[in-house]
Amino acid sequence: MATSLSFPTKFSLHPNSSVFVFQSPNGPKRIRFPKKINKVLCSATEQPKQQQQKQQRWQTNKKKKSDSDAEKGIDPVGFLTKTGISHRQFAQFLRERHKALKDLKDEIFNRHVNLRDLASGFEILGMHRHPEHRVDYMEWAPGARYCALVGDFNGWSQTDNAAREGHLGHDDYGYWFIILEDKLREGENPDELYFQQYNYVEDYDKGDSGVPIEEIFKKANDEYWEPGEDRFLNHRFEVPAKLYEQIFGPNGPQTLEELGEIPDAETRYKEWKEQHKDDPPSNSPCYDVIDNGKEYDIFNVVVDPVSREKFKSKKPPLAYWFETRKGRKAWLKKYTPGIPHGSKYRVYFNTPNGPLERVPAWATYVQPEGNQAFAIHWEPPPEDAYKWRNTSPKVPKSLRIYECHVLPHVKEAGYNAIQFIGVVEHKDYFTVGYRVTNHYAVSSRFGTPDDFKRLVDEAHGLGLLVFLDIVHSYSAADEMVGLSLFDGSNDCYFHTGKRGHHKYWGTRMLKYGDLDVLHFLLSNLNWWVVEYQIDGFQFHSLSSMMYTHNGFASFTGDLEEYCNQSVDREALLYLILANEILHGLHPNIITIAEDATYYPGLCEPTSQGGLGFDYYVNLSVPDMWSSFLQNVPDHEWSMSKIVSTLTGNKQYTDKMLVYAENHNQSISGGHSFAEILLGEIMKDSDATKESLLRGCSLLKMIRLITFTIGGRAYLNFMGNEFGHPERVEFPMSSNNFSFSLANRRWDLLAKEGVHRNLFIFDKDLMNLDEKGRILSGVQPNIHHVNDTTKLNNRKSSFKQPFNSWTASRRGVKGCLRPAQPQEHVSKGVGHLPSLNCKMYAKPNQVIAYMRGPLLFIFNFHPTDSYEGYGVGVEEAGEYQLILNTDEVEYGGQGLVKEHQHTRKTFSKRVDALRHCLEVPLPSRTAQVGFLFSFRVFGIYAPELFTIGKLSLNVLSFEN
């Protein structure tokens, strides 16, 4: 069976029979599902001959399937071959996982027409308006004995709207079905047609014209049907009724003897021909039976080709059918909704353990109330329903993501995507939305479903993509508001026993191997895209779901750790399906993997043995910066560690998303970098200028190097770009459930000072990518990482004042410092006294790299500055300063003057490169220079490049 994703289906029900008929664009199709019979034999010698032949055929088919995979470009270990990784155990694991995926798809196609059908459960499950003046409700609860809807619409009755087995009950898979009929208004009569449909969107259509149904049918007979053509339709029960009367009527035979023998088909056909030989001629297609005297001829039917083509060319009489439909006005006049918009409701189950009330799993709007919650029926009238105004913007070449809820600020700040957390309905505010209770519902804390649509629409109108932090790695353990023990059993959505509970977080672990759980989760992903036009997902905490130890284990890097008994293969298959379906249904979707264990193949194509994500998050970066800021003195920072951590695995740099700090530092009990560096300073009016300068400088340098040294995407948590001095703290028992810290102080941006300076810098950093295409450009060439200098102890006898810059000009990389006294240490751009001093090795803490035509140089040293620090460059020419963290408008000192903004290279081999460039480099500053004479394919393309107060003509280049 084809695995087409975009194949439109007429309906999505689980067939119980082995034959399933569905509607396709080319007409109805009939699919026969083979029923598998598994037999267990003791040994190969005991297999009967047929079984051995079957086994041989299976081996042949297996080889054909393998050949077919190769033709499709599928290689279960393809990414291992590409990267040159040789690990027999992991390769075998990938092959077995690929086979398991094929078996899973076979199982899926026994119940679903295609993968789109698997991921579209929201079209039939939950509450849905049916055009035949009713609302349909479907829920999966295989462990329940009885199901009913209770709510304020029926006085919370447990019997008024119920589904019972055998009568609108549940099917073999545990799906319950309930119909809520709309209520006739007083004085109104039921529709004459039991199948009468209504147009709930338009106020007026032909159904409101007042033309009687009898007249519409007569018009159809007169104008559409040809003489005799509609006789069968109008009298389709005539023949079986007469046959029934003859055989079973009061005058029919009472015994088998009286019934006698039924004539054969040929005899009956000839009798029918004789009976109708005098019928008037008809324009209906002429059918006859071929009879050449052979036994099988009686089964061959021939039709007149001309009349057959004429019949096939006729279109269905939709125009007349539409005239039987009624508009919304007609419905409002005749009916009231069986469940009005805004009604509170729950689903009621009777289970082996007693009665239960639950919030429906597919509810799209939920309002928590204390330890309970209610589903809200969301069916606003068409005039009040939200109407989309904007389409999703095109996916940019570089992603600059802002994790927030404040749109105008994000647009002004220069980001092109936003990411929401805590949008999906969850139980507790302080869990930041990660203990999800209702996967299909927008959190009612922030408004209605239409309010969220408006938010997404506004973002799209501003040119911002909208990503959702999706939590499918675990779920809330609360029974009253979540899915735990949903139908009274312990194995509905979650694993049983220890495997069903997270080891440390108190959450439930989903059962990814269950087809109905897959149906629920994959449909959930598709739901957010279809209903709310979400542009991408960041999959939260994948390590929690991919391992039975929930990721809480030490990893040494041995591939055996990614394929041993602790790996949850079912979870991996779910992630593969999720990426295949999302990218198949929505080609522009973006998926991001958050995995602390860096599972091999995260961003490799699923056809090559990967999981199929577009990006992975480098979680090591914020941890490294946090550790440095809190535990390591500034002069002991390792430049090598900074570079290695920021660049990650070079094979996957193109797929890396980085951030300097994430919401964990600001929300989850940690400390934001600004809180560490500026928190106490901002509270202390007597804080020294040096302390403030240190904090501001490091915040800018950390963000600049994180943004520019690696990866194709960058993420920032709201407020971090302007150094918010306080963390976010949600209401909880420790703060007496106060909302005082559950905010961001946007007022800080309106004041002159460090926060506004930091915001201006971050805005110019985003502008640097917009103009210079850093993230989407070539990867950096990191050629200068200076942790230490190797100098022999020697005497120096300069007879005039000098500083450390002079030393670099004379070819001595490093800083000259007197051994004694300590107070003569150079700070900033100062002069040392004329004296004989002892030179010794010390770290420079300088990093330099090229990315396209841009040169980045960082001096992390807390005290030492350089007048002409030499770094190697490959291209000769003139470099012009376009971004400097020490600019006054960024909160710096402005030590690099305007006449120093342009520097020329000279011929000297440095850092294994052909040319050398010397630049002024004050302590704790970073600079970005542009190679003014840079050529792209030998062509100059001038364009105005403005960053902050610095502007120049540069090149427009594509990579």
Residues forming the active site: 594
Q: Residue 438 is which amino acid? A: N
Q: What region does 937 belong to: left with phi over 0, alpha with psi -120 to 50, or beta?
A: left
Compute CA 907 distance to the chain's CA centroid, rounded to the nearest angstrom: 51
Neighbours of 158 (CB within 10 A): 15
Task: State which H helix or E strand residue 762 sits in.
Answer: helix 754-772
> Among 132, 290, 270, which residue's Cα sits nearest to residue 196?
132
Supply 719's token pair: 């407020």
Compute the distance between CA of residue 644 and CA of residue 145 in angstroms, rounded to an integer. 59
Helix and strand totals (H; E) in the chain: 24, 38
Q: Could you write out the DSSP letters of every residue in 556-623?
A: -S-GGGGTSTTB-HHHHHHHHHHHHHHHHH-TT-EEEE--TT--TTTTS-GGGTS---SEEE-THHHH
- Is the Cα dihedral 574, 575, 577, 582 positive or negative? positive
Compute the distance between CA of residue 788 and CA of residue 677 in angstroms, rounded to an integer. 26
Q: Which residues contact 278 (CB under 8 A, 6 or more apart)?
A: none
DSSP 8-state code for residue 326: B
**Cα-based torsion angle of the residue sequence 804, 810, 814, 815 in order, rounded to the nearest 10 degrees:** -20
Compute the distance between CA of residue 519 and CA of residue 122 in angstroms, rounded to an integer. 9
Compute the distance between CA of residue 486 and CA of residue 349 in angstroms, rounded to an integer. 9
Strands (E) located in 314-391: 335-336, 344-351, 354-358, 365-369, 372-376
Q: Which ranges of 368-443 does DSSP label H, i.e. alpha helix?
A: 407-413
> Among 125, 139, 145, which residue's Cα sits nearest to residue 489?
145
Compute CA 1 distance to the chain's CA centroid, rounded to the nearest angstrom: 27
Supply 679's token pair: 């928190």
- Long-range contacts formed by 260-265: CB under 8 A, 24+ apart: 265/298
DSSP 8-state code for residue 392: P
> Among 310, 261, 260, 254, which residue's Cα sits nearest to residue 285?
310
Task: State which H helix or E strand residue 693 sits in.
Answer: helix 689-708
Compute the 3-state secondary structure of the chain and give helix, strand, coil in percent, each to the nearest 5: 35, 20, 45
Residue reference for tokens 């904090």:
695
Instruction: Assess contact for 863 and 923: CB atoms under 8 A.
Output: yes
**How do 19-24 and 781-786 pair as beta strands?**
unpaired
Separation of first and last alpha carbons in the chain: 41
Task: State which H helix or E strand residue 781 sits in.
Answer: strand 781-786
Is residue 525 exposed (0-12), middle (13-18) or buried (19+ Cβ within 10 Å)? buried
Residue reference for tokens 């059993």:
489
DSSP 8-state code for residue 900: G
Q: Residue 896 is which amino acid? A: V
Q: Which of 2-14 are b and which e, b meaning 16 or more Cβ less than 10 Å from the residue's Cβ?
A: eeebeeebeebbb
SS3 180: strand
Supply 784's token pair: 């200068």
Compute the distance between CA of residue 698 and CA of residue 885 in angstroms, rounded to an integer. 10
